[in-house]
Chains A and B, each alone.
Chain A
């Protein structure tokens, strides 16, 4: 395989992976933008998406059913966690962050209890391969990229065009004023949290056939997701989308030439530079 082909493959993989990260990071940023709380347990929703997916496929042998059901289940869990556990401390971001740390431990080891410590695989739901540049490329990955883009576009439409979307944007900008015009802010936060969990879980089940499924996968995604938040700018959705693809491509392309570890360090360096030079994120408009 020539270097161009290798490079092209890595760019394709980078795009697919970047879009999956975008799903996860968009959820994270959506929640952060609304309640200024960094959800440490967000990675666990990604993990749960894959785990539930694995169980559902075991019982039903149907990937597509799992693809729909698993994120919905996780969204319900997210809804319950926000309502039942996070709400009492929600006005104190650092406290809530520590609470989400506790939730993270509970979710990880509950899964470990039932699912065990060893990774499992989900088979790609279809074996179709495209021929690109003379070598095969997984049709499933192309499907993942297209579906992710569609979901992200739908999310944009939802936020721009629907009433709840308008409410979410209003609560993000000025929570007190939102209450004063009659928006049920608490419900909006709950829905947003569920939506964020849904997106992370969708990322989880989509990623499951590409990687493998284990109870620590949420922890593995965490540094990448957080780097996206910093590079894209906290609370900035378009920034998160751009930063996800940027990081995935950076790591994908550079890993053709250097070891994956070094490419990991490269994105860390990128993040550090952004932090010093543009603490608002590289995609932020100049603000008033």
Chain B
């Protein structure tokens, strides 16, 4: 049950990454920063301020949005490779910061967490000791976010994101401030990645700086590319496949990232549209 809830929380991370990579065409290799930030803000606000669950979730969203805005402010000014480099640099430096400030972050060991009860006005439900309640809460929030993304990509702004992906220069010529929209996309993605991190910590009852680490950034890239970028659902599929895969293989074969690296290279070279993109392509060809 925990694992399923965990993956649902990670699905939100996958979708959020897809918004900037699959829809706006920006490859961020530092997305763990937002995921980890959300998780830490959620945890720390509960530990230090005993804040209620809703407030903590909200703080996680706002906090990661601010970090995303700061990094995005620099990153969106760079194109192509430079954009990627900046996301890498910021995320690695922030990771090392989390190491140095062990007293706050708990470093490697992380921080354990007692999740406060869920307040619904008259009713108060325990989340910490009730996996089913936890499951439904996460499922409800992630479903709402999915609806939001779904509406967003169908909206004029979503089409603008796609336009930027296919040809930024031309989008600029017809009078749109593409920098602004790239930043908006980046901040939305960062904010929901943060929410995803918070939900993840709510489920696992702890946080540690691994969530900020490079490997977390790489994970979401792999899910998205293997699942199918630009489909929202594809990256979620990727998250399910790889999280289960890791859960079962990591006991027997600690070096499983070797396999992930190989799968990633295989897909980039031979199936660049990802599993879902490949299937959709097949269906489209059938119809013709």
Contacts and interface: CB of A to CB of B under 8 A. Distances in A.
* Touch A–B, Cβ below 8 Å: yes
A272 B92 CA distance: 15
B81 A85 contact: no
Contacts of A105: 218, 257-258, 260-261, 264
Interface string B27-66: 1010000000000000000000000000000000000000
Contacts of B97: 261, 264-265
Contact of A226 (B85, B218, B254): B85
B82 A223 contact: no
Given A98-B221, A105-B260, A230 B96 contact: no
B74 A272 contact: yes
Contact of B84 (A36, A38, A95): A38
Given A226-B89, A272-B74, A98 B264 contact: yes
B82 A101 contact: no
B93 A94 contact: no
Contacts of A103: 261, 265
Contacts of A226: 85, 88-89
Contacts of B159: none
Which applies to chain B's interface (DSSP): helix, strand, loop or mixed?
A: helix
A109 B250 CA distance: 13
A98 B258 contact: no
A101 B89 contact: no
A220 B214 CA distance: 11
Interface residues of B, number: 37
Contacts of A219: 92, 214
A186 B90 CA distance: 34
B138 interface: no
B130 interface: no
A113 to B, nearest CB: 5
A139 interface: no
B283 interface: no
Interface residues of A, number: 44
B275 to A, nearest CB: 16
Contacts of B88: 40, 222-223, 226
B278 interface: no
A94 B80 contact: yes
B22 to A, nearest CB: 13
Interface string A240-282: 0000000000000000000111001100100110011001000
A108 B90 CA distance: 21
Contacts of B260: 102, 105
B268 A230 contact: no
A192 interface: no
A222 B96 CA distance: 12
A20 to B, nearest CB: 18
A101 B93 contact: no
Interface of A: 32, 36-38, 40, 85, 88-89, 93-95, 97-99, 101-106, 108-110, 112-113, 219, 222-223, 226-227, 229-230, 234, 259-261, 264-265, 268, 271-272, 275-276, 279
Interface of B: 27, 29, 74, 77-78, 80-82, 84-86, 88-90, 92-93, 96-97, 100-101, 214, 218, 221, 225, 254-258, 260-262, 264-265, 268-269, 272
Given A40-B29, A219-B92, 5 more contacts: A32-B81, A99-B265, A230-B82, A234-B81, A268-B89
